[in-house]
Chains A and B, each alone.
Chain A
C-alpha cells in the first residue's frame, strides 16, 4: 500500500512540475462549485454525453467486423451477434444505447424548456442543443439501415420519403439522401459514411461548443 501511494504521489508531482494540472483539476472537477439548489434532473445532458461516449466506443468495436455492402452487411452483423465472443453484448449495447441517448436528450431538452433556461444569455446553448438533437436522430436513423434487414430497409424507405413530402425541393432531397431513386447499395455506403464519421465528427465539434458555452455562462440557477 505504502509503495503504491508513494508511486502515486511521485507521478502526480512529475506531472504537476511540468503542466501544473492540480489547480486545473481542483477548479474544474474535485472542488468545482455547483448551485446547492441544483436537482438531479440537471444530470440528463451529462448522461446523454456519457451514453454518446459508450456509443463511440462500442461503435469502434463493431466497425472491426462490420462490412458495409449489400451482400455482406447482414451476414457480418449476424456474425458479430452469434460468432464473435461477446459480440452479442457489444451489438446490443450499441442498439440500446442509441435508444437511451434519444430518451436522455429529450429529457434534457424538456427540462431546459420547462424551466426556460434557454433565455438570455443562453440562446445559443439551446440552438446548438437543437442541432445536436437533430444529429442524434440522424445517427440513429443512419445506423438503423446498416444491419440491412427488412426492418431497416423499409425504415430507410419510409424515413427518406418524409423529406420527399416537402413541396418543390422534396423529391430532390429524397433522391440525394437515397443516392438514387431507390434504397440500394449506394444508400448503404452513404449512410455508413454518415454514421461512422460525418455525423459523429460534426456532433463532437458542436458538443465542444455547447460545453464551452455552458462553462462560460455557468449553470442556470433555479429560483
Chain B
C-alpha cells in the first residue's frame, strides 16, 4: 500500500512552492497585460449622437460617428435625413458634394443621390438610412 504513494520529500515540497509562486507571478503580470491589450472599443460606450437642427444649414452634410461607424446628417427640402456614410461597395466613407448634391465615394467612384439612392458606380445597394428622432429641434440618433 504505502509503497505506491510517493513520499512527501522536502524537494517535492519546495518544487511545489516554487511552482505556485511561478503561477502567481504569471497571473500577476498576465492579468494587467491582458486587460491592457483587450481594451479596444469598450470605452466607446453607446452614446446617442445629438445635433441641434439650427447647426445644420440645408444642403450641407454633417458627419458623426455612431458605434465607431461613420454617419452623415443631411437637411434638404423634405427635412432631415440620416444615412450611413459607409459606401455599400467596400466601405469607404462617402463625401458630400454640395455643388452637385450627391455623395461621391473616393475609392471606386460610386455616386449616390441626396437620399442615398444609387446614381452610378460599382454598387448594387443604396446607402443605408438610419432611424432618428427629432425632439425640441434636436436630432437624436441612437
Interface residues of A (CB under 8 A from B): 61, 64, 83-87, 89-90
Residues on A with C-beta less than 8 A from B37 are: 61, 64
A64, A83, A86: the one within 8 Å of B35 (CB) = A86
Asked whether, in the complex, the Cβ of A90 is within 8 Å of the Cβ of B43, the reply is: no
7 contacts between A and B (CB under 8 A): A61-B36, A61-B37, A84-B36, A85-B36, A85-B38, A86-B35, A86-B36
Contact B32 A89 (CB under 8 A): yes
Cβ of B33 within 8 Å of any chain A Cβ, yes or no, is yes
A83/B43 in contact, CB under 8 A: yes
Say what secondary structure dominates the interface of chain A.
Answer: loop
Q: What are the nearest 8 A-B pairs in CB distance? A: A86-B32, A85-B35, A86-B36, A86-B35, A84-B39, A89-B32, A61-B36, A90-B36
A85–B38 Cα distance when bound, in Å, is 9
Considering only CB atoms and an 8 Å cut-off, how many residues of chain B contact the other chain? 8
| Residue of A with least CB distance to B36 | A86
Which residues of A have CB within 8 Å of B38?
A: 85
Q: Which residue of A lies closest to B35 (CB)?
A: A85
Interface centre among B32, B36, B39, B43 (most CB of A within 10 A): B36
Q: Residue of B at shortest CB range from A87?
A: B36
CB–CB B32/A90 < 8 A: yes
On chain A, the residues within 8 Å of B43 by CB distance are 83
Task: Write the B17-38 contact mask toward A (1 if CB under 8 angstroms, else 0).
Answer: 0000000000000001101111
Least distance between A94 CB and chain B CB atoms (Å):
12
With the chains together, A201 CA to B36 CA distance in Å?
25
Q: How far is the CA of A87 from the CA of B36 in the complex (A)?
A: 6
Chain B residues with CB below 8 A from A87, complex form: 36
Chain B residues near A90: list those with CB within 8 A.
32, 36
Q: How far is the CA of A37 from the CA of B33 in the complex (A)?
A: 40
Give Cα distance in the complex from A57 to B38, angstroms.
Answer: 16
Shortest distance in angstroms between A67's beta carbon and chain B's nearest beta carbon? 15
Render B33-51 as a binary contact track against A, CB cut-off 8 A, 1 for contact: 1011111000100000000
Bound complex: CA of A86 vs CA of B32, how far in Å? Answer: 6
Could you tell me the distance between the alpha carbons of A58 and B39 in the complex, rounded to whole angstroms?
16
Q: How far is the CA of A64 from the CA of B40 in the complex (A)?
A: 11
A112 to B32, CA, bound (A): 37
| Minimal beta-carbon separation of B9 from chain A (angstroms) | 14
Q: Which residue of B lies closest to A57 (CB)?
A: B33
Complex interface: chain B residues within 8 A of A89 (CB): 32
Residues of B within 8 A of A85 (CB): 35-36, 38-39
CB distance from B40 to the nearest CB of A (A): 10
- Can you name the residue of chain B whose Cβ is closest to the Cβ of A61? B36
A84 and B36 alpha carbons, distance in the complex (Å): 6
Chain B: minimal CB distance from A166 (Å): 42
For the complex, give the distance between the alpha carbons of A84 and B39 in Å: 6
